[in-house]
Amino acid sequence: MNRLPLTIAGTNPIRVIYLMTLFGLVLSGFAQMPIFKRYYIADIPGLGWLAQFYVTHLIHYLAAIIFIGISAYLLVDYLMVRRKQIRLSGSGYLRAGLLAGLLMTGIMLVIRNLNGVILPSGLIIFLDLAHLGLVMVFLFTAVTCLMLKKRWTTTR
Ligand code: HEM
């Protein structure tokens, strides 16, 4: 049975939640670094919260939880149902791999932040740079795929 993706008013809600979560992760992620205060963005009325580390940190964690949930749903849906109809494109595999790397380095950074956990300083620097590096590569890849209209999947 061909199960079409759920759409509401022509829009796939999973896609909308995914894009909103990604936006939340990018915004709150960059707010983990003191750039919004340094470049006066947090001085714009209504944006002061962007300079409050613990507020953006909490938003990053909440968005990460939703992101993990969506990723698990899409992975299971693909492996259990959709794999008969569609397969990941080359750029789909690339983006999935980058997001998996972000998820794994992110989880390690969460573990780093837990009380009583002491990771070697070299590993902490690696995780931070890897997380940030993957963000930049993912954003570049996502924008390039958008411009070149590269889809995540192709039909079998
Ligand atoms: C598309 C997904 C994501 C993006 C774009 C993103 C972006 C970022 C950015 C830009 C930073 C700042 C890096 C720095 O301070 O050098 C950051 C930090 C962090 N991210 Fe993510 N992230 C993503 C996913 C995740 C996920 C899934 C998790 C957890 C499971 C996570 C956990 C963290 C943690 C713990 C930090 C460090 C915060 C701190 O203690 O300074 N991130 N993220």
pLDDT digits (tens, 9 = 90+) for 9-65: 566 888 899 999 999 999 999 999 889 999 999 999 999 999 999 999 999 999 999
How far is residue 29's CA from residue 23's CA, in Å, rounded to a whole number? 10
CA-based nearest residue to 86, from 1, 155, 150: 155
Please tell me if the CB atom of residue 95 comes closer than 6 angstroms to any atom of ligand 1: no
Position in ligand 1 atom list of the atom nearest CA 103: 27
Q: In angstroms, what is the span from residue 34 Cα to ligand 1's centroid?
A: 14
Nearest CA to ligand 1 atom 28: 106
Please tell me if the CB atom of residue 67 comes closer than 6 angstroms to any atom of ligand 1: yes
Determine the 3-state secondary structure of 11 from DSSP.
strand
How far is residue 152's CA from residue 98's CA, in Å, rounded to a whole number? 13
Determine contact, residues 98/137, Cβ cutoff 8 Å: yes
Residue 105 in this model has a pLDDT that exceeds 70: yes
Please tell me if the CB atom of residue 103 comes closer than 6 angstroms to any atom of ligand 1: yes
pLDDT digits (tens, 9 = 90+) for 115-150: 999 999 999 999 999 999 999 999 999 999 999 999
> Is-above-0.75 flag for pTM?
yes
Any idea where the domains of the chain sit in the sequence? 1-84, 88-156
Give start and end residues of each alpha helix (H) in 31-52: 35-38
Q: In angstroms, what is the span from residue 23 Cα to ligand 1's centroid?
A: 12
